[in-house]
Chains A and B, each alone.
Chain A
Amino acid sequence: MKKLVEIIGGFTIEILGEAGRTGILFFQSLATLRRRPFYTKVWFEQMLEIGVRSLPIVVVTSVFSGAVFAMQMWEGMERYGSTTWVGWAVALAITREMVPILASLMVSGRAGSAMAAEIGTMVVSEQVDALRTMAVDPIAYLVVPRIVATAFMLPVTVLIGDILGVWGGSLVVVNLYGSSSTMYWDGIWATLTLRDLNSGLIKAAVFGVLIALFSCQNGFHTTGGAKGVGRATTRAVVSGSMSILISNFFLTRLLLES
């Protein structure tokens, strides 16, 4: 029993510590955003790295998720004779939930792990100290560009994913079930609103900030050489993904009520 309490207590302290450190990094980054220099060249490099280079996995994820969801919807709605609503259901799920969540998880796995590994390696090899000795603020140079890039590029990739996800659904509905393309797309145009689209994009921006913060925070607190870098990378992906899934609940409530 004592052991169990110890384990639960240790786990709680670890989670609170992680959240606290990430919160501090968030406020430090906000404060840094108001100070020059801005290292805008690094911002654009990170946008390329995080946004453009993550696009292939987001495209594959979106197309196949849209296709699978369309299949499930068709099978389900066919029982009630309401297959005309498949397009609408696919578009709603894709734009509001599926692509923002799946794309964010993919970016967390790809770009978030890379951020933690890169910063962690820089910490253990004294490159971050070298930045400080050269009067360069590591938060301004390493963290802020990654937050800005992820917060800006994740919604862009999600928007592309939304379009391709819905298109993936249409491929299934038209080619597999022989439905008309017009019926699928008309159902979407008639019911999908800008609010549906925006809701997913707002979520993506928030998830982007969370991914960058958790990844950078874990990178900055790396200790113990190569093993430590590995640990930091794993923690970055796990805590980033958890933060996406948990914050999604509250964001969804907030966005549905607004």
Chain B
Amino acid sequence: MIESDNKSEAALGDEGLKVSDNGDGFQVTRNGTEPLIRIEGLRKSFGDLKVLRGADLSVSKGESMVVIGGSGTGKSVLIKHIIGLLRPDEGKVIVKGAVISESSRPDLNELRRSMGMLFQQAALFDSMTVGDNVAFELRQHTSMGAEEVVDRVEEMLTMVGLSGLQDKWPADLSGGMKKRAGLARALAIGPEIILYDEPTTGLDPILADQINGLIRDLQKRLNVTSVTITHDMISAYKIADRIAMLHKGRIEEVGTPGEIQDSSNPIVQQFIHGRAEGPITPR
């Protein structure tokens, strides 16, 4: 909902989001600040398979951005570029003012220390206990003493509802518990940016709702910036400040959950309503 018709700057809804025209196009920011994450013309192919074909997206500080899209549309590829796991063929990913693909190894690692990532299958280190998994980054990158680490691990595990499970092995946990342990690990170091790769996939609706609540709560309480990729629309509506729809390697539409629901774009409408027939489905 644009509250002002000013071409150069307008406010969106009541979330403090502002639209500005920087000459190259419109950019949405929170309270008019420079986006914390900016993706410009991102292209990536694997052999002959073109996955991203010029994706553009910006995420403001403290914003919860959810990227939706069908399976195989490049959502995971997009998120992996943000944390430097993949290098773009063309285009840029700029995080906190630094171009990820042009950053030196120490600079990239410095940036990564301000980010956390929850992987789709949690990616817990199976040679370590849950407690050691959560403590891993603290031991690597902080000067915390052993007791402080233990306290922090307990705090994180309590926050995700896994208190007392420090000594369990990842193999002993259910899928939902693994996700929550992965979340505790991603949050332990206190990241500024969190990336969630399909946080609710494979979870029962109640557990999915708990994870959604946890993500929303963290974002509000700690003011972290988050990018979530999902195809779970219930989750998207619950945790998003804005939703971006990725289709055929490009961002098809970006808007608040309300705007996405009211979108006149048939691609967006087919996806959010989960219809078998429509422009997304190949004939």
Residue of B83, B116, B123 touching A126 (CB-CB under 8 A): B123
* Closest beta carbon of chain A to B85's beta carbon, Å: 5
Cβ of B275 under 8 Å from chain A: no
Contact status of A134 and B119, CB under 8 A, knowing A118-B127, A127-B125, A129-B85: no
Name the residue of chain A whose CB is nearest to the CB of B137: A134
Q: Restricting to A109-149, which residues have a CB under 8 Å from any CB of B?
A: 118, 121-122, 125-127, 129-130, 132-137
Given contacts A132-B112, A134-B137, contact A125 B117 (CB under 8 A): no
B165 to chain A, nearest CB (A): 19
A134 to B117, CA, bound (A): 9
Decide if A20 is an interface residue (CB 8 Å cutoff). Answer: no
**Is B22 on the interface with A (CB-CB < 8 A)?**
no
Chain B residues within an 8 Å CB radius of A17: none
Instruction: Report A48 CB to chain B, min CB distance, Å.
Output: 13
A37 at the interface (CB under 8 A from B): yes
In the complex, residue of chain A having the shortest beta-carbon distance to the beta carbon of B76: A126
In the complex, chain B residues whose CB is within 8 Å of the CB of A121: 126
A125 touching B123 in the complex, CB below 8 Å, given contacts A132-B85, A133-B83, A134-B112 = yes
* In the complex, chain B residues whose CB is within 8 Å of the CB of A129: 80, 85, 119, 123
| 8 Å CB contact of A134 from B105, B121, B136 | B136
The answer to whether A135 and B125 have CB atoms under 8 Å apart is no
Kindly state the separation between the CA atoms of A121 and B124 in the bound complex, as whole angstroms: 12
Cβ of B119 and Cβ of A135 under 8 Å apart? no
Query: A126, B141: Cβ atoms under 8 Å?
Result: no
Chain B nearest Cβ from A35, distance in angstroms? 9
- In chain B, residues 77-131, which have Cβ atoms closer than 8 Å to a Cβ of chain A? 80, 83-85, 105, 108-110, 112-113, 115-117, 119-121, 123-127
- Residues from chain B with a CB closer than 8 A to the CB of A130 are 117, 119, 123, 125
Say which size band chain A's interface belongs to: 10 to 19
Q: Do B123 and A135 touch across chains, with their CB atoms under 8 A apart?
A: no
Min CB distance, B189 to chain A, in Å?
Answer: 8
Partner of B123, one of A37, A118, A127: A127
- State whether B117 touches A133 (Cβ < 8 A): yes
B197 and chain A: residue at smallest CB distance = A126
With A132-B112, A135-B113 in contact, is A126–B119 under 8 Å at CB? yes
Q: Which residues of A contact B127 (CB under 8 A)?
A: 118
B140 within 8 A of partner (CB): yes
Question: Quick one: which of A37, A129, A134, A136 has the most chain B CB within 10 A?
Answer: A134
Which of B83, B85, B105, B116 gathers most chain A CB within 10 Å? B85
List, in ascending order, chain B residues with CB within 8 A of A137's CB: 105, 109
Q: Report yes or no: A135 in contact with B112, Cβ–Cβ below 8 A.
A: yes
B-contact 0/1 string along A192-225, CB 8 Å cutoff: 0000000000000000000000000000000000
B137-171 interface (Cβ within 8 A of A): 137, 140-141
Q: A128-182: which residues lie under 8 A (CB-CB) from chain B?
A: 129-130, 132-137
**B-side contacts of A118, CB under 8 Å:** 127
A134 vs B80: C-alpha distance in the bound complex, in angstroms? 13
| Pair B140/A136 contact, Cβ less than 8 Å | yes
Instruction: State whether B126 touches A135 (Cβ < 8 A).
Output: no
Q: Which are the 3 A-B pairs with shortest beta-carbon distances?
A: A135-B109, A126-B123, A130-B123
Sampled A-B contacts (28; CB under 8 Å)? A118-B127, A121-B126, A125-B123, A125-B126, A126-B119, A126-B123, A127-B123, A127-B125, A129-B80, A129-B85, A129-B119, A130-B117, A130-B123, A132-B84, A132-B112, A133-B83, A133-B112, A133-B117, A134-B136, A134-B140, A135-B108, A135-B110, A135-B112, A135-B137, A135-B140, A136-B140, A137-B105, A137-B109
